[in-house]
């Protein structure tokens, strides 16, 4: 894994743990992104809804890379996406790298995190 991405990701993780508590990992961050993108705040989600939240976060993270296009929201305000192209076959290491890089971009672009901040 790219050392720079991993170092930057660990700083993001530390920043998020200050707000959301310890134990933030990739899965917790994906869930957080999904809840944020849904825009309804936190609630007790069903297992099916949690799966949908992970899908929303992956689509959102990979949209800037051209893999998905946001189509809009349904009557319950859930976002929907169209797959534009298949992801290449990636090993676990490369998948983690891509997701971590996309998470960094997401939190920075949405102004939830700044790598220049003193806490970063």
Token readout for 57 is: 């976060």
- Check residue 1 and give its pLDDT: 52
Read off the pLDDT of residues 8-63 as tens digits, 9 standing for 90 and up.
999 999 999 998 888 899 999 999 999 999 998 888 999 999 999 999 999 999 99
Between CA 37 and CA 31 the distance in angstroms is: 10
For all residues of the chain together, what is the average pLDDT? 91
77-103 per-position pLDDT tens digit: 999 999 999 998 999 999 999 999 999
- Say whether 70 sits in a helix, a strand or coil: strand
pTM of the complete model: 0.88
Q: What is the 3-state secondary structure (H, E, C) of 13-24?
A: HHHHHHHHCCCC
């Amino acid at each position: 894994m790219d050392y720079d991405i991993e170092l930057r990701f660990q700083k993001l993780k530390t920043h998020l743990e200050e707000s959301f508590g310890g134990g933030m990992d990739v899965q917790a961050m994906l869930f957080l992104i999904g809840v944020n993108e849904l825009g309804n705040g936190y609630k007790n989600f069903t297992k099916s809804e949690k799966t949908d939240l992970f899908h929303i976060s992956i689509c959102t993270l990979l949209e800037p890379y051209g893999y998905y296009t946001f189509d809009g929201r349904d009557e319950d305000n859930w976002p929907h996406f169209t797959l534009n192209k298949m992801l290449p076959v990636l090993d676990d290491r490369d998948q983690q790298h891509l997701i971590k890089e996309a998470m960094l971009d997401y939190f920075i672009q949405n102004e939830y995190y700044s790598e220049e901040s003193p806490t970063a």
